[in-house]
Amino acid sequence: MTETTTAVGVDVGGTFTDVALLVEGQLVTAKVPTTDDQSAGVLDGIRKACKEGGIEPGTVEEFVHAMTVSVNALLERDGARTALVTTAGFRDVLEIGRQDRPSLYDLDVEKPTPIVPRRRRFEIDERATAEGIERPVDADEVRDVAARIDDAGAESVAVCLLHAYAHPENEREIARILRAELEVSVSVSHEVLAEFREFERTATTAVDAYVRPAIDGYVGRLTERATAAGLPSPQIMQANGGIADAETVRNHAVTTVLSGPAAGVVGAAATAECDGLVTFDMGGTSTDVSLVRDGSAERTTDAEIDGIPIRTPMVDVNTVGAGGGSIAWVDEGGALRVGPRSAGANPGPACYGRGGSEPTVTDANVVLGYVGPETALGGELTLDVDAAKAALSELADRAGLPDAREAARGVYRVANATMTRAIRAVTVERGHDPRRFGLVAFGGAGPMHAAALADALDIERVTVPKPAGVLSAFGLLAADESHDAARTIKTEIVDADADRIESVYEELREEALADVSNPDRARLERAIDCRYSGQSFELTVPVGETFDPEMVTDRFHEAHETAYGYALEETVEGVTLRTTATVTRETPTVRHAGGEGDPVLGTRPAYFPESGERDATVFDRGAVAAGTVVDGPAILEQAESTTVVPPDWRGTVTEEGALRMEAVT
């Protein structure tokens, strides 16, 4: 964030909208229900936080926001009625997809339905190769296609031509005519994703067109509501972990996909004190894990949402269907399973007392004693312990277990095993030793499971940030401004034309800086996607201020050995050049009040799988003073989340209010 004293971050989730308000070093948090029009809930949350912080919304100097509008449109298939214009003969690229299949032996598997149906996919008789334009477009043909698009009732148009990443002249002409003839938004592939691979480029451009009207309308309404309340114009979190101004996001809608999880990773990196981190965000429906190395979140350009590939740069998050609301069940073989089906927020877990009867991970935590009957989830919802026990008793009968507690123990361990595999996927499977990383736990349920996961992975350090339950909202206040530009340029590294590469990097520099709020403060980072000759996929390696073929080759060999365990004596190819412009913002400093009143609320019995039932000391986390050492077994409660310190673990409260936990040897 900039050098302001009052800033607010708002993260919209499927059930709750989280708010983190920073007022002169003091952090105020709030949760409100997510509304159908998310902008209304956002303003409700800001007003609630401002009231608790004793300020007026008009005094807020900075407003940063993460949303789910675009991902909801994809998951629910309720985006804009989109048309696609493409090269003749390539109308069905979206439907053909790739040769690989996610469920190779499933005879009943069905491919996702394309977001642009065939009747709204139109062809243009043009042709370009990677070397240049062979056949220019006919303006009259484009106008005829525009009329057919209008007749089809399209609300948005995606344009993606063959090899437009290298030679976009035909694509520019088509976009110019369509924008003149139609009163709808037009997304163009060389502006959205100037990279090769026809299917991924077409799919990403179609997604941009599909969600763009919704993003444009939502950001417009939010800006109007913010202005009316005296708030500054919102800055929006992008999937790459950086923020951008509202107008930039409205013109690059696809960059908002998965902005919420990205904010959580940024928040984790800002609140932990070591460069190597595994971030562990366990919410109500799912768990998101990611990796932070050298202080920066790992990024990827190879993501997929509901079967749709999206190749915009984004924080590399691995998601599994294990959350507090995940339902436990018994499969046909009699094995206990957890998720991915969730009880959601309504009716929710059985312990919510809203009519839910199926056992969930939250019910298991209640039966184990980690969450007590007096705990008020979100500061408001009290729990029905008897309902949780009844749900787990029924599960025990189906699973052949002796009682509800054994069923709860099984649910806890199965959920932990699922989340442990997710962490291994971003560490061990990518050549990283998890023992060299710290674990940062957040989300409503993450801090309850963190120590058990650390034990399973031999991770020695666990950090639970003070705003653990709303860390994605807090992460918005710590995010830098970031803009990406990329272009495919295939070349063998050893024989690369350095002048040509530097010329393209200069163009990417101008493109990345075009949307930066303060270009003079921007830091530029250059990279290149490389592969061995004959490979199909690439690894990204950094490039210095000048292109050095030998250095790039060495860095690629090192990256390949880290990722796959070996390097080859093969020709290294450069595929795509990348540039990122970043404006660093000041990381917010939070003071921990604590120390007022007795932090000990009492004790309650809690069951730990490795040591049995123990009396755990229960703390009001907000009242625990900095420097306090908490010996396990202990439970620290706060409005948005609960932290469990198992036996043989110890936690220390930092000056910022974070809890640093480690195993006692």
Q: Which two tokens stand for residue 16?
A: 């709750």
With the CA atoms of 79, 80, 86 and 91 taken in that order, what torsion angle do they form, in degrees rounded to the nearest 10? 60
Tens of pLDDT, residues 83-106:
999 999 999 999 998 877 777 787
How many Å apart are CA 641 and CA 198, to the nearest integer? 45
Would you call 512 helix, strand, or coil by DSSP? helix
- Nearest of 419, 422, 432 to residue 292 by alpha carbon: 432
How many Å apart are CA 483 and CA 242, to the nearest integer? 7
- Nearest of 587, 532, 589, 533 to residue 561 by alpha carbon: 532
Q: Which two tokens stand for residue 156?
A: 């948005």
- Nearest of 643, 91, 604, 35 to residue 372 by alpha carbon: 604
With the CA atoms of 128, 133, 139 and 141 taken in that order, what torsion angle do they form, in degrees rounded to the nearest 10? -30
pLDDT for residue 375: 64
Residue 1 has pLDDT above 60, yes or no: no
Q: Which residues, 6+ apart, have CB-to-CB distance to 119 below 8 Å?
A: 152
Tens of pLDDT, residues 450-467:
999 999 999 999 999 988
CA angle at 572 for the pair 570 and 575, rounded to the nearest 5°: 145
How many Å apart are CA 18 and CA 13, to the nearest integer? 8
Q: Which residues, 6+ apart, have CB-to-CB distance to 95 below 8 Å?
A: 111, 114, 118
Sign of CA dihedral 183, 188, 191, 193: positive
Do residues 215 and 256 lie in contact, with contact meaning Cβ atoms separated by under 8 Å? yes
Which of 155-159, 194-198, 287-291, 595-599 is predicted most confidently? 155-159
How many Å apart are CA 586 and CA 592, to the nearest integer? 19
Residue 595 has pLDDT above 70, yes or no: no
pLDDT for residue 345: 67
Residue 362 lies in a domain: no
* Summary mean pLDDT of the chain: 91
Pairing of strands 649-653, 287-293: unpaired
Crossing angle of helices 169-181 and 139-151, in 10° steps, is 50
Q: Which two tokens stand for residue 5?
A: 């004293």
- Nearest of 10, 146, 4, 2 to residue 473 by alpha carbon: 10
The pTM (predicted TM-score) of the whole model is 0.86
pLDDT for residue 111: 80
Residue 400 has pLDDT above 90, yes or no: yes
Q: Which two tokens stand for residue 39?
A: 């902008």
Q: Domain of residue 500: give its range.
A: 483-583
| Range 388-399 average pLDDT | 94
Q: Alpha helix (H) ranges present in 272-384?
A: 361-367
Residue 527 lies in a domain: yes
| Range 528-549 average pLDDT | 94
Tens of pLDDT, residues 227-279:
999 999 999 999 999 999 999 999 999 999 888 889 999 998 887 776 789 99
Domain total in the chain: 1
How many Å apart are CA 303 and CA 259, to the nearest integer? 13
Residue 510 lies in a domain: yes
Of 101 and 320, the one with more pLDDT: 320
- Indicate the DSSP class of residue 202: H
Residue 590 lies in a domain: no
Most distant pair of Cα atoms in the chain: their distance = 80
Crossing angle of helices 471-478 and 259-271, in 10° steps, is 80
pLDDT for residue 109: 77
Residue 2 has pLDDT above 70, yes or no: no
Would you call 269 helix, strand, or coil by DSSP? helix
- Nearest of 48, 50, 26 to residue 657 by alpha carbon: 26
| Range 202-228 average pLDDT | 96
| Range 51-73 average pLDDT | 91
Q: Which residues, 6+ apart, have CB-to-CB distance to 269 below 8 Å?
A: 277, 279, 292, 295, 296, 297, 478
Q: Residue 216 belongs to what H/E stretch?
A: helix 198-228
Residue 563 lies in a domain: yes
Would you call 135 helix, strand, or coil by DSSP? strand
- Burial class of residue 102, CB neighbours in 10 A (0-12, 13-18, 19+): exposed
Pairing of strands 649-653, 659-663: antiparallel
Q: What are phi and psi of 542, to 5 degrees?
A: -75, 155
Residue 567 lies in a domain: yes
| Range 68-86 average pLDDT | 90
Tens of pLDDT, residues 476-523:
999 999 999 999 999 999 999 999 999 999 999 999 999 898 999 999
pLDDT for residue 343: 84
How many Å apart are CA 310 and CA 304, to the nearest integer? 6
Residue 500 lies in a domain: yes
